Amino acid sequence: MAVMARLQAWQKGVMRCMAIALVALLTLMTGESPVLAQTAAEVVATPLGERSFVAMAVEQVGDAVVRIDTETTVVRETPDLFFDDPFFRGFMGPNGFPSYPQQELLRGQGSGFIISAAGDILTNSHVVDGADRVTVTLKDGRSYEGIVEGQDSVTDLAVVKIEAGDEPLPIAQLGNSDSVKVGDWAIAVGNPLGLDNTVTLGIISTLKRSSASVGIPDKRLDFIQTDAAINPGNSGGPLLNQTGAVIGINTAIRADAMGIGFAIPINKAKEIKDQLVAGESIAHPYLGVQIATLTPDIARRNNEDPNAGVLIPEVAGVLVIRVIPNTPAAEAGLRRGDVVLEIDGEAISSADVLQRQVENSTVGQTLNLKIKRGDQIERLAVITAELDSSE
């Protein structure tokens, strides 16, 4: 017994030293002693046999995480192989061979989490987009037919409804993504690659990672980036903080990503979930331009290039690369090569900032732009229109 007691004391001492070292390392990296360091120390110092904060967080929300299976029937016109035989080819004439419709059943899988006792489930739009049949399976094995109440492809969010009758449903607690800090714990829960009820752990790597910077310019999102593993099948599942509250919706969007995952902030979902439940469309204002961040150095290098197609003002702002015809920007007189300096008196330093300003406006709102065109400063008023997300 004395030997066992000494062994346990030695073990606790080692773990306490590891905790102190971890706190010191995190303090050195961040310049302060964050709550994260304290939590990390507690995790390392947790005696064997006691439950970690990860287990307790997952226990709170795990039952509310669901698997979503989809089926989509695709009809393709396929030429009859009988008439593809060279023997019959000469009899068909110049019109070629007849085509016959052929059906193909495509299956997909993703994740989601229950957000109301009425059976509303939050997930990604791309998980259920175009599906003819949606099946929702709970962790306890219960299975229901799902109905897509509403979806918005621009924010990649959707709400699926199940009818559970009198059967109680577990509900995930929604947190506040605005309070998330870089370095906080991040826990991803879902069904990656068909492996149900998978949990991965990491930290918040960065915040407000724009959708354009991660290769999906057709979306309007500022992602939470994490190193918690997020794979196909995780899409639509929750990203949790250390207390088990949902801070994001996991989105597997980069097939080449290794150790990098992205999640839609839960506050974005909070803004529009009630509209999605009601089946309403989400209005997104737009201008109708393709843009890029401009710095004086970038402009200078362009202007020194003898093969440059256009001279660019050597200023900081947002360069208009293309103006799409029949859009608010075109009607307001914006031109290729213009540099947007301000919107409503606020300086615009990057394409992300401009996009965020437009997204935070309303459809039909007038935005007053200060632009530099050549050597001249001009002011234009652009009236936003509603983006057609189906195009």
Non-local (6+) Cβ contacts of 168 within 8 A are 117
Contact 161, 121 (CB under 8 A): yes
Kindly list the catalytic residues.
Answer: 126, 156, 235
Q: Rounded to 5 degrees, what are φ and ψ at 148?
A: -75, 110
Collapsing DSSP to helix, strand or coil, 182 comes out as coil
Collapsing DSSP to helix, strand or coil, 31 comes out as coil
Q: Catalogue the E-assigned strands of the chain.
A: 65-79, 99-114, 120-123, 133-137, 143-152, 157-161, 185-190, 198-210, 222-226, 238-240, 246-251, 261-265, 285-286, 289-294, 317-323, 339-343, 346-347, 366-373, 376-383, 385-386
Q: Rounded to 5 degrees, what are φ and ψ at 240?
A: -105, 155
Strands 261-265 and 222-226: antiparallel
Non-local (6+) Cβ contacts of 197 within 8 A are 62, 65, 139, 189, 191
Name the token pair of 58: 């997952």
